[in-house]
Amino acid sequence: MTIYLPIAELPLDVLVLLAMGAGVGFLSGMFGVGGGFLITPLLIFLGVSPAIAAATGAAIVIAPSMSSVLAHWRRRNVDLKMGALLTAGGLVGSAASVALVGVLRRLGLLDVTVSLSYVILLGIVGVLMLAEVITAFRRRLNAAGAVPPARRTHFWVHGLPGKMRFPRSRLYVSALLPLAVGLFVGIMSGVMGVGGGFFLVPVMIYLIGMPTSVVVGTSLLQVIVVAANVTLLQAWEHQTVDIVLAVTVMIGGLVGAPYGTQIGARLRSDQLRGLMALLILAVAIQLGVGLVAPPDDLYSIDIMRWRRRLAALALLIGAAVPAAARAQSLVFDLSTHLVEITAGFSGTEMLLYGATEGEGDVVVVLRGPDTDTTVRRKSRVAGIWINTDELTFTGVPAFYRIAASRPLAAISPAVRARHQLGTEYLRLTPPAGADATTVAEFRAGLLRNKVRKSLYAAKEEEVSFLGPRLFRTRVALPPNVPPGSYTAEVLLIRNGQVTAAQTTPMFVSKIGVGADVFEFAHERAPFYGILTISFAVLAGWGAGVIFRRA
Amino acid sequence: MAAKAKQTKRIFLVVVDQSPELKVALRYACRRAKATGGRVAMLYVTEPVDTEWLAVGNLMREEQRAEAEARLQELAAGAQSLSGEMPVLHVREGVVRDQLLKLLDEEPSISVLVLGAGTDPKGPGPLITALTGKYAGNLHIPLVIVPGNMSDEEIDAVT
């Protein structure tokens, strides 16, 4: 069952998302760590862009944290004063890192930053976990009891200024400590969309020296507030939180986690923990390979500005009358002027048909909304392929298809250039003063990317004649057809000259809940963020209450 | 005959938690144990450890165990002076209700379970609610419920 994710703008199978959420929930329930830091990489593997995967990951983290903080709250296992300081640091750190995300995104460096951060994080977590399992295994071979590491009671941390009393934790330590720890976790949370419990818990125990009984509850408090802050800011500033994706994965996770907790309480198996460590390392390696492997194409594209005209749509549809207002040498129409992208949209086919007066060849061009498109080129920096150069073209049609009744090669280049027939004749405007060779390279990169994404066709389709005058052609619209206003243009070419031309508008529009969500996310971004947070909080709360009763 | 009596010595089990009604349950159990030549056992259930990461789980268990021992020692001193015999101490990890039922299955020598009822209008507490409700069938020994508002004198009067 496929669902169209309104913000991620791609269709994914609901069952896959639910299963992924349940699987990660199960694992995190079993091991007590590892919700958020597996969700974001798995979403990236499913094809969600790293920016959206990380922002949505932060929203997803809220729910399970909410569900388990309730139990700790009931048992008074929360140090509010320490939690407040951690949270204060976390709010500053997350706000800064969401702003950083914006900068990195504009520079085209966000994807590589997210991937690299995950490779480092998962690498460290996986290795530590594996080392711990191996140590435990060896110790059992030596038949010696498990010896937890001794806590140090006095080290450099206790020399820091600004000491403060924490009665609940029975501590007298510098307030700078929780502030700094919170700040660091906040930065991680903003860029990677993790809660950070896996980092907070050991640091609070070994560095700050808190009693273990209050650590989990207090860290959850920080995780919830910081993850909510990241969700709100990402939704507000970047519109990268996909509520449909978040809620689906969240539900899977909330269902899976209690089972993980139950199983985990019954069998504390080192083998299982070893498997978890290997899984984490596998994800890290998979992401790492993506960073160091030479990319298939050094060039990639990023659409900076859609010229969306959704609001004006209704007016324009009224004008979309068939292009045969008066007697002409050329008439045609489309099987539909409005293509609706619904939740289950998986591409469609459109029929264009018409008639000519007299002999001639017919060329059909369908082009989508003009955009500003940035082309980026990767080069290897310290072994990693990152975007280093960029060039922005304006007037780039988001979608382009051409069909002709005779090979385009037979039409003179002058005519083709004038009417932009064929992708090589598209008038894409590079920035003024750009070097001609560079422009040619980036232009080729742009076209290649467009073709790979099925947004442009490498070759023309055929226009078939039914008898001497009637013609028709089919245009396939892929699932990722960009929404916006299109024009279909038909040219009649006789003796090498264009003797008649007609155009008609066509619209591709998101329809239904998905479109409403998209509009809401862009028009009322802060409210959308708050709505997402509320969903997560309520779902987590509900799951916590249900699980307690069960 | 005397040996047999010793074997069937009654053991009164009290579940230790943070509630105020623990005091009445413990006093009742101690007084009854003394009166009938029985003994008091105490069960402390530590919270389930849900984080297995960087030895955090082991450290948590260790700290909880230390806390459990401290609490049990503190109570055991009073219990000994009241009942005349050193109480038996049990420490378990997990969910209180499950661990309690498990202990009762494993230790058939425990003959009476003594619980203090909370005076809160919302109910006597989760354990009593469960054991007098859905889980009543899982018990194989009598359950004594001591109302939490009984004073020491009142308890002494009925034991």
Read off the CATH number of the domain in which A308 is found.
Answer: 2.60.40.1930
Which residues form the domain of A30?
2-142+155-293+514-549
Coil/strand/helix, residue A195:
coil
Question: Do A50 and A125 lie in a common domain?
Answer: yes
Residues of B with CB under 8 A from a CB of A: 47-60, 62-64, 67, 94
Is residue A432 classed exposed, middle or buried when 0-12, 13-18 and 19+ CB atoms within 10 A define those classes? exposed
pLDDT in tens, chain B (159 residues): 344 444 567 888 988 888 888 888 888 888 888 888 888 899 998 887 777 777 788 888 888 888 889 988 988 888 888 888 888 888 988 888 888 888 888 888 888 888 888 888 887 888 888 888 888 888 888 888 888 888 888 888 887
Q: Which residues contact B141 (CB under 8 A, 6 or more apart)?
A: B104, B110, B111, B112, B113
Shortest Cα distance, chain A CAs vs residue B51, angstroms: 4
pLDDT, tens digit (0-9, with 9 covering 90-100), for A89-118: 999 999 999 999 999 988 889 999 999 999
pLDDT value at residue A22:
93
Residue A133, pLDDT score: 85
The beta-carbon neighbor of B63 closest among A68, A213, A268 is A213
Residues A285 and A361 in one domain: no
A150 occurs within a structural domain:
no
| Planar angle of CA A194, A198, A200, nearest 5 degrees | 95
Which residues in chain A come in under a pLDDT of 50?
307-315, 317-327, 550
- My answer on whether A274 and A421 are in the same domain is no
CB atoms near residue A406 (< 10 Å): 15
pLDDT per residue as tens digits for the range A335-384: 988 988 887 788 899 999 999 887 888 999 999 898 899 999 999 998 89
Residue A205 with chain B: CB contacts under 8 Å: 56, 59
CA-angle at A231, arms to A28 and A76, nearest 5°: 55
Q: How many CA atoms lie within 13 A of A63 on its CB side?
A: 32
Let me know whether A12 and A160 are in one domain: yes
Please report whether residue A184 resides in a domain.
yes
Phi, psi of A438 (to 5 degrees): -60, -45
Residue A455, token pair as written in the block: 């947004």
Q: Rounded CA gap, B73 and A343, in Å? A: 64
ipTM comes to 0.73
Q: A310: closest CA among A77, A520, A467?
A: A520
Q: Is A404 part of any domain?
A: yes
pLDDT at A322: 46
Say which residues have a Cβ less than 8 Å from residue A20's Cβ, sequence separation at least 6.
Answer: A39, A42, A46, A249, A252
A99 and A24, same structural domain?
A: yes
Within this chain, do residues A340 and A391 fall inside the same structural domain, yes or no? yes
C-beta atoms of B56 and A273 within 8 A: no
Q: What is the torsional sign of CA A111, A116, A117, A123?
A: positive
A193 within 8 A of A57, measured Cβ to Cβ: yes
Strands B39-46, B88-93: pairing kind: parallel
Q: Which amino acid, one-letter code, is at A260?
A: G
| Same-domain status, A42 and A129 | yes
Say how far apart CA A273 and CA A264 lie, in whole Å: 10
Give kind and range of the element (H or E) at residue B145.
Answer: strand B143-147
The answer on A450 and A332 residing in a single domain is: yes
Q: List, edge to edge, every strand of the sheet that includes A470-477.
A: A330-334, A348-356, A470-477, A464-466
Element (H, E) at A402: strand A400-404
**H-run or E-run covering A510:** strand A497-510
Q: Is the residue at A148 inside a domain?
A: no
Q: Are residues A283 and A343 in the same domain?
A: no
CA B49/CA A424 separation, integer angstroms: 64
Residue in chain A lying closest to B50 (CA): A32
Is the minimum CB–CB distance between A201 and chain B shorter than 8 Å?
A: yes
Interface-testing mutation among B18, B44, B53, B58, with chain A (most A C-beta atoms within 10 A): B53
**DSSP for A131-182?**
HHHHHHHHHHHTTPPP-PPPPPSSSGGGG-SSEEEETTTTEEEETHHHHHHH
Same domain, A269 and A304: no
In sequence order, what are the beta bridge partners of A374? Answer: A302, A392
The one-character DSSP state at A488 is: E
Give the C-alpha separation, A485 to A307, whole Å: 9
**Cβ atoms A375, A392 nearer than 8 A:** yes
C-alpha A548: how far from chain center: 34
Residue B39, classed as helix, strand or coil, is: strand
User: A207 by DSSP, 3-state: which?
Assistant: helix
Nearest to B40 by CA among B15, B5, B4: B15
pLDDT recorded at residue A312: 46
CA distances A460 to A295, A351, A417, Å, are: 28, 15, 16
**For position A54, what pLDDT does the model report?**
93
Q: Do the Cβ atoms of B56 and A213 come within 8 Å?
A: no
Sign of the dihedral through C-alpha B123, B124, B126, B130? negative
End-to-end CA, chain A: 30
- Output the pLDDT for position A162: 81
- For residue A202, list chain B residues with Cβ-Cβ distance below 8 A: 53-54, 56
Integer Cα distance of A419 and A472 in angstroms: 20
Note whether A132 contacts B: Cβ–Cβ < 8 A: yes
Examine the domain organization and report whether A19 and A166 are in the same domain: yes
CB-nearest to A202 from B47, B54, B63 is: B54
Q: How many domains does chain A have?
A: 2
Report how far residue A393's alpha carbon sits from residue A338's, in angstroms, rounded to the nearest whole number. Answer: 28
The full set of domains in chain B, from first to last, is 2-158 (3.40.50.620)
- Whether A212 sits inside 8 A of B56 (CB atoms) is yes
Segment A235-255, tens digit of pLDDT:
999 999 999 999 999 999 999
**Total Cβ atoms within 10 A of residue B111:** 18
- Token representation of residue A123: 């690498």
Residues A268 and A315 in one domain: no
Tell me if chain B has a CB within 8 Å of the CB of A90. no
Domain assignment of residue A367, yes or no? yes
Instruction: Determine whether the interchain pair A202/B62 forms a contact, defined as Cβ–Cβ distance below 8 Å.
Output: no
